[in-house]
Structure 1
Amino acid sequence: MKKLRYCFLLFFSGFLLFACSSSHEKVSKENAEEPIVLIETSYGTIKIKLYNETPIHRDNFIKLANSGIYNGTIFHRVINNFMIQGGDPATKPQFDSKNDSTLLNYTLQAEFRPNLFHKKGALAAARMGDNVNPEKNSSGTQFYIVQGKIFTNEELSVLAKRKNDNLKNQILYSLIIEKSDGLTANGIEPNYSDLANSLQDTLEFILSNKPNYNFSDDQIAAYTTVGGTPHLDGDYTVFGEVIEGLEVIDKIAAVKTGAFDRPVEDIPMKVTIVTK
């Protein structure tokens, strides 16, 4: 019996040691030196650090940069006081649509972190809309850098309410679709207005278990000083931030654009990882 207890204690101690070691390893990785990226353009160089808290996006970006995929791509979508978007391999002059098409279609699992948000200079992943991408998975290659604008506290309160209203509408829509599909399968034509009314109690119950969205003190401090795009928080993965070259973003965001917000004159980039 004593031997059995000794073996159990030995196993349990080993488990604790492994658990503590794994936890320490995770913390060490997040506290490790963050990779630095240089994006060189004709308007200047943007220096970015990649967050260790978003390892999927960090490692994917490093892989693409080191392989040269980004070199020669352009900032193909530019909106002043909003963001500059690039990273689409199809914008490279030498892009081979037949052999390189896989680069256009793969996605990454979202990595939302409450402390990583869309302040000016944030690096984030572009993605397809919720109607075809409810999981909010990121584009494998395309990214954007936030320019944004400065908000007042009152404007942030309005945005927070809008986010809560949007969540409510999304949940109600999902409930209606689920219910109507069941009716249709049984040959019954659904009345969507009646369904919406009948599902209000269910909706309120679901919402009662979800906290209201509110901007944190850090978000409010950033958005009321340096600015950003707060309405994108929680919907797009932020995986880095500009540490030098915010003025370059302003220059690119101000260029003349044509159809689909594409700059009239191409702005190619060269992307280099300078530390790992």
Structure 2
Amino acid sequence: MTRLMRILLLVVLLLPGLASAGGQDGRPRKKKDYLVTLKTDYGTMRLVLYDQTPKHKENFIKLVERKFYDSLMFHRIIQQFMIQGGDPASRRAKSDEPLGNGDVGYKIPAEFAPALFHKKGALAAARDNNPDKASSGCQFYIVQGRVWTDDDLQKQVERATARGGRVPTDAQKQVYKTLGGTPHLDGNYTVFGEVIDGLAVVDSIAKQPRNDTDRPRQDIRMTMDGQWVKKKKITKQYKYQY
């Protein structure tokens, strides 16, 4: 084998590694993260997606970049609990039409990580009542929740474990007692991101008047954009700690 042939062979063998490390396959470096901008009439939220939930992250990015969520509604809102959206049927729904059953025809396997929990601002995947706790392919919710006392938090933990969920760590309990959240959902629904700017928008949406199916009486529509941003820029601009 000539020296030139050996060099060409080495280049071919190194290409996959170069692509994954340097972004030659279109994927950004790990020093970047995907920043989602979610706009509503009540303000703008910015969210990051967790690396610990790669299937949910990849799917959400795909839908955002396809503009799937643009003009969809937050179709279910419950104050001190969460705001839910992503039902494709909400795009052209009539004012009295029940919503929440629309989907994209596939589910995402549950991705539970002990470090990810339902604090205020958590982005999580909605789902139906399936034994594997697999997520909807498109519907999501953002946690508003409430601040918990020690006694009430213990009841929530018991409620979660009775449903096959998990007990939050001491640090997570402290967050539930200060920032707030919905602890009984831990270990039962996949958390895959969080709001890092615009938490007040969640409060504004959650308190809107709603009907007996928890649909807002006035439609609350959304648009979403996303971009890959250096993590250092995100930590500096939004005071977010990875």
**What TM-score, normalized to structure 2?**
0.76
Q: What does residue 273 of structure 1 align with? A: 226
Identity score, percent:
48
Q: Does the 8 A contact of 1:104 with 1:141 survive in 2?
A: yes
**Corresponding residue of 1:39:** 38
Shift of 1:215: 2.1
Deviations 1:117-146 (A, max 9, x none): 0000000000001xxx10000000000000
Aligned 8 A contact 2:38 2:222 in 1: yes
Distance 1:102 1:226, change over 3 A: closer
Kindly tell me the number of residue pairs found equivalent between the two proteins. Answer: 199
Separation in 2 of the partners of 1:134 and 1:43? 36
Q: Which structure shows the higher strand fraction?
A: 2
Is the Cα–Cα contact under 8 Å of residues 89 and 102 in structure 2 kept in the other structure? no
> For residues 220 and 91 of structure 1, do their structure 2 counterparts lie closer, same or farther at Cα, with a shift above 3 Å needed?
same
User: 2:74 maps to which residue?
Assistant: 75
Deviations along 1:78-124, whole A, 9 cap, x unmatched? Answer: 00110000011111129xxxxxx995331101100010000000000
| Amino acid paired to 2:109 | Q
Contact 1:32 1:52 in 2 (8 A): no
Distance in 2, matches of 1:85 and 1:148, equals 13
SS of the residue corresponding to residue 225 of structure 2 reads strand
Report the RMSD for the aligned CA atoms in angstroms.
2.5
Q: What's 1:219 paired with?
A: 172
Normalized against structure 1, the TM-score is what?
Answer: 0.67
Which amino acid is 1:145 matched to?
Answer: I
Give the structure 2 partner of residue 136 of structure 1.
133
- 1:242 deviates by 0.4
Distance apart, 1:158 and its partner CA: 2.2
2:185 aligns with 232
Question: Aligned partner of 2:150: which letter?
Answer: N
Q: Report the secondary structure of 2:194's partner residue.
A: strand
Whose helix proportion is higher, 1 or 2? 1
Shift of residue 162 of structure 1? Answer: 3.1
Residue type at the aligned position of 1:114: P
Q: CA 1:237/1:213 → structure 2, altered by over 3 Å: closer, same or farther?
A: closer
Higher-Rg structure is: 1
Mapped contact 2:48–2:196 kept (Cα < 8 A):
yes
1:159 aligns with: 156
One-letter amino acid of the counterpart of residue 146, structure 1: V
Cα distance in structure 2, aligned partners of 1:30 and 1:108: 24
Per-residue deviation at 1:52? 1.1
The CA deviation string for residues 190-244 of structure 1, in whole angstroms up to 9 with x for no partner, is: xxxxxxxxxxxxxxxxxxxxxx953202211110000000000000000000000
Give the unaligned 5+ runs of structure 2. Answer: 1-16, 22-27, 94-100, 230-242
Q: Report 1 or 2 for greater relative contact order, CA contacts < 8 Å, sequence distance ≥ 6.
A: 1
Distance change in 2, residues 1:257/1:32 (3 Å): same
